[in-house]
Structure 1
Amino acid sequence: MSDDLPAIGLGTSGNTDPEQCAASVEAALEIGYRHVDTAQMYDNERAVGRGIASAPVDREDVRLATKIHPTNLAPEDVRRTFGESLDRLGVESVEMLYVHWPTKAYDPEKTLPVFDELHAEGAVEHVCVSNFTPALLDEAREILDAPVFANQIEMHPLLPQTELVEYARRHDLYLVAYSPLGRGEVLDHPVLNEVADEYDATPAQVSLAWLLDHDRVVPIPKATGRDHLRENFAARELALDDSAIDRIDAIDDRERVIVPDENPWGI
């Protein structure tokens, strides 16, 4: 499999109804998605695995990602709970395994070597992190033998993450953008709606297209119904001109929709 990530992936955070989750993953793969993201924290790995198994798509064509819960980041818990995740997903390996949040049981000197071991054993194709600042990325890259393939962060027009975009470009890693629609907050913004009207598109598609205009940024919007899945996927074909990009870049409203209980980074 190529080391490139598909332009748009499927997020599943909050999709906890087993039947709906499995059906939406299956539908997404039928539509053309090839990157599916889940986590121990989402409590839906079993349903995600069912959706992948039911889809008319070869397993080797799917980029499957899961994340180790922050309370499971002690070395012995990483390995044990990762095995449980594989069992729930019904797979022997995953393409991407994340440190979900660098909190709770996270100890970089103890946690990250286990990710290296899983990578060396072939159970994990790419080691990834989530919600890491540049300083935490520097630390992780110093400790790990495997490269950091991706940093999953909240990113959308109201949270442009300029510093991390530049970091990803400089160090050749992906930013995987979760909540790329700001949990709906960006959809009512006048600039997004103005651009959407000009392009005969939806505000969601404009937000996703703006993200895709960034080098090495991959949004993973959550959707369950086929119409929204198709709408989001079609954003790959929406090319915004410089004027539209500049107007979105100029938005000075800021809103973060996901803030952890433990927040040592001041985000």
Structure 2
Amino acid sequence: MDNLQTQGISLPRLGLGTFRMQGDTCRAAVESALALGYRHIDTAEMYANEEPIGAAIAASGLARRELHVTTKVWHENLAPDAIRRAFDASLDKLKLDHVDLYLVHWPSKGMNLPAIFETLMKLREQGRTRAIGVANFTTALLKTVVEEIRAPIACNQVEYHVMLDQTKLRHYLTAHAIPLVAYCPLAQGRVASDETLIAIGKKHNASAAQVALKWLLDQDGVAAIPKASRRESQQANLDALKVKLDDDDRKKIAGLPKDRRCVNPAFVPAWD
């Protein structure tokens, strides 16, 4: 498994997303993923599954240093005191003494970015999170955080897949050596029925989903966190790492429509 080096941490490029996984199902999924060799687990306070994830980590017997755990603070909790309370609650539920990466889950209107990042940087200085970052931040918001506040951002986690163009955002992130962590990398299952991806997959004895995932992971500075609750799906995602796409494949993928956004809640920022 390749890792991305960012702000003092080593981020496995393929992780397990856990949105909408709950209770025993979530615990079993994380236990399965860890047994298969996953070492990057992504969660958030909003997912309400940090407790089963913590239980799965404890049951795995893996040394803490072998794991990368990301969690996030919800956009309604971005005042400094609320961030600290949310962070303490997340750590308690995960039964960990630190996380590897703590993200602002979504920007919110009227948020005080300097105060937010002062709070996050204190958590980092205290060793309670090894790194900090953002999710769903636009290029304009990133410029404020990176160039004005000068916060040590370890990643921007955003929706990214073969059906959504993120060129402008990627240019900014690449220029500042900030990884992009792609959520919904399989467009919530939509890639599976795409005829172009199916045809490319047949050429490589792979599925359309494996083609879509490898297309992402072939890009410099990109990690992906597909959600997969079944062991077979988790293994298939790992096997995507073996697919070798060629220039003709990439040209065909480049020709796909790139305007399909799967996650667009009412409170989103104005996208790039």
TM-score tier, shorter chain, comes to over 0.9
CA shift for structure 1 position 97 = 0.2
- Label 1:24 to 1:97 Cα distance change in 2 as closer, same or farther (>3 A): same
Aligned residue for 1:77?
82
- 1:130-169 Cα offsets, whole Å, 9 max, x none, are 0011111111113545411000000000013111222222
Aligned equivalents of 2:149 and 2:102: distance in 1? 14
Please state if 1:58 is matched with 2:52. no
**Partner of 2:132: helix, strand, or coil?**
strand
Secondary structure of the 2:131 match is strand
Normalised to the residue count of structure 1, the TM-score between the two structures is: 0.95
Equivalent in 234, 240, 248 of residue 235 of structure 1: 240
Does structure 1 retain, via aligned residues, the 8 Å contact 2:31–2:56?
A: yes
Number of the residue aligned with 1:96: 101
Kindly report the root-mean-square deviation, in angstroms, between the aligned alpha carbons of the 2 structures: 1.6
1:107 and 2:146 matched: no
Equivalent residue, structure 2, for 1:140: 145
Question: Alignment identity in percent?
Answer: 38
Which stretch shifts more, 160-169 or 200-209? Answer: 160-169
2:156–2:181 contact (8 Å) kept in structure 1? yes
Aligned to 1:207: 212
Q: Does 1:10 align with 2:16?
A: yes
- Normalising by structure 2, report the TM-score: 0.94
Q: Is the 8 A contact 2:45 2:74 kept in 1?
A: yes
Cα deviation digits, residues 86-139 of structure 1 (max 9, x gap): 000000110000000001573212211100111111111111100011111111
Match of 2:124 among 108, 119, 142: 119
What per-residue deviation string (whole Å, max 9, x for no partner) do you get for residues 153-198 of structure 1? 0000001311122222211111000000110112111111111111
Aligned equivalents of 1:222, 1:105: Cα separation in 2 = 31
Kindly indicate whether the alpha-carbon contact (under 8 Å) linking 1:173 and 1:216 is maintained by their aligned counterparts in 2: yes
**CA 1:53–1:173: 2 relative to 1, 3 Å:** same
For the residues of structure 2 that align with 1:164 and 1:28, how far apart are their CA atoms? 30
Q: C-alpha distance in 2, partners of 1:213/1:205?
A: 12
Give the direction of change, closer, same or farther, for the CA distance of 1:170–1:130 in structure 2 (3 Å limit): same
Q: Which residue of 2 aligns with 1:257?
A: 262
Q: Once structures 1 and 2 are overlaid, which stretch shifts more, 81-90 or 163-172?
A: 163-172
Distance 1:196 1:166 in 2: 28
Whether 1:246 aligns to 2:269 is: no
CA distance in 2, matches of 1:244, 1:126: 36
Q: How many residues align?
A: 266
Report the AA paired with residue 122 of structure 2: E
Q: Is the 8 A contact 1:175 1:217 kept in 2?
A: yes
Structure-1 separation of matches of 2:101 and 2:184: 19
CA distance in 2, matches of 1:58, 1:78: 28
**Counterparts of 1:161 and 1:253, CA distance in 2:** 9
Please tell me whether the aligned partners of residues 69 and 100 of structure 1 are also in contact (alpha carbons under 8 angstroms): yes
Pair 1:81–1:30, CA change in 2 (3 A): same
Aligned counterparts of 1:63 and 1:236: Cα–Cα separation in 2: 19
Deviation of 1:48 after TM superposition, in Å, equals 0.9
